[in-house]
Amino acid sequence: MKLENNTVLITGGSSGIGLELSKVLIRKGNKVIICGKSIEKLNAAKNAEPKLITYQCDLSDRLQCEDLAERIKQKHPELNILINNAAIVNKIDFFNEETAMELAENEYHTNLIAPIRLINLLYKTLRANDSSAIINITTGLIYAPRVIYPFYNSSKSALHSFTQTLRIRLKDEKTKVYEVMFPAVDTPWHQGNPPKIAIGVEKAVAEMLTGLEKDKPEIRVGGAKILYFISRLAPGFALKKVNQIQ
Ligand SMILES: NC(=O)c1ccc[n+]([C@@H]2O[C@H](COP(=O)([O-])OP(=O)(O)OC[C@H]3O[C@@H](n4cnc5c(N)ncnc54)[C@H](OP(=O)(O)O)[C@@H]3O)[C@@H](O)[C@H]2O)c1
């Protein structure tokens, strides 16, 4: 796919991978729109990169999602790329967490329902424009889940499955469907304590963009590629190894 002269919506573009992606795509001559919950983070991103267009939106909330899509359709009808990047993770012991079900609902709404909703709301706008694409961000953990993230793994696995069927559904249409599986990446996601195997955010985004340029529908970045192969050859071993990561 071409990575210049697009109008791109990146959810969760105010931090980590989304923010790095925003900066690189602006440098390549794209119009980049980002959204996030925290106005402080959005303002900080805009200060660092004044060309960014920012919208505050809690994607876990249906009405706010609908409002965001409406504003995008009105103000940026030329939108041709949607990158569903925003996500959260709750690290919990399922049976020792009193609020487990509230956390589960919020996590599934943010990581799974919101991307599907945005695709549903914005597809007609995307397909009306040239070089349209939907890019969903998932993780190597779709191949081997970690016990400490009971909702995260499953929300991303479900998004992976949805993305596969979306690609088949749209195979005769102009809109391309991509999925990017990241390994551990050193971003604010890890709250200052990234796993030892985490890679830098610049490297992660560069690999993602190389994959998109080569038009790969599924882009497994770094360790996600290794985990994919191990999980195919020895699924039990992959599961064990992933749950030993420090
Ligand atoms: N970092 C890793 O190790 C890693 C590994 C594999 C996959 N990934 C995937 O990569 C993507 C980006 O992760 P990251 O590391 O860049 O995380 P991050 O630094 O924590 O950024 C997450 C972004 O999502 C936004 N967000 C979260 N909940 C939201 C909501 N309800 N509504 C709107 N925006 C929301 C955040 O904004 P607010 O804080 O303002 O809500 C923030 O901009 C995620 O899909 C993640 O699953 C990351």
Q: Secondary structure of 7-54 in the HEC alphabet?
A: EEEEECCCCHHHHHHHHHHHHCCCEEEEEECCHHHHHHHHHHCCCCEE
Could you tell me if the CB of 58 is within 6 A of ligand 1? yes
- Residues marked active site are found at 152
**How remote is the CA of residue 18 from the centroid of ligand 1, in Å?**
7
pLDDT at 246 over 80: no
Residue in 11, 14, 17, 118 to alter for ligand 1 test, most ligand atoms within 8 A of Cβ? 17
Give the Cα separation of 194 and 242 in Å (integer). Answer: 15
The encoded tokens of residue 62 equal: 């249906």
**How remote is the CA of residue 95 from the centroid of ligand 1, in Å?**
25
pTM, 2 dp: 0.98
Question: What is the length of the chain?
Answer: 246
pLDDT at 184 over 90: yes
Nearest CA residue ID for atom 18, ligand 1: 189
Ligand 1 nearest atom to the CA of residue 106, by list position: 31
Per-residue pLDDT band for 245 (boundaries 50, 70, 90) equals confident
Could you tell me if the CB of 144 is within 6 A of ligand 1? no
pLDDT, one tens digit per residue, over 71-120 is 999 999 999 999 999 999 999 999 999 999 999 999 999 999 999 999 99
Domain assignments of the chain as residue spans, ordered by start:
7-242
Ligand 1 nearest atom to the CA of residue 13, by list position: 43
Q: What is the CATH number of domain 7-242?
A: 3.40.50.720
Asked if residue 131 lies in contact with residue 6, where contact means CB atoms within 8 angstroms, the answer is yes
Could you tell me if the CB of 187 is within 6 A of ligand 1? yes
Helix (H) or strand (E) holding 83: strand 81-84
Mean pLDDT of 219-226: 98
Ligand 1 nearest atom to the CA of residue 41, by list position: 40
Asked if residue 89 lies in contact with residue 107, where contact means CB atoms within 8 angstroms, the answer is yes
Residue in 11, 15, 137, 151 to alter for ligand 1 test, most ligand atoms within 8 A of Cβ? 15
Q: What is the mean pLDDT of the chain?
A: 97
**How remote is the CA of residue 108 from the centroid of ligand 1, in Å?**
13
Per-residue pLDDT band for 45 (boundaries 50, 70, 90) equals very high
51: nearest Cα among 82, 75, 24, 74:
24
Question: What phi and psi values does residue 143 have, to the nearest 5 degrees?
Answer: -90, -25
Q: What is the DSSP letter of 192?
A: T
Nearest CA residue ID for atom 43, ligand 1: 12
pLDDT, one tens digit per residue, over 113-157 is 999 999 999 999 999 999 999 999 999 999 999 999 999 999 999
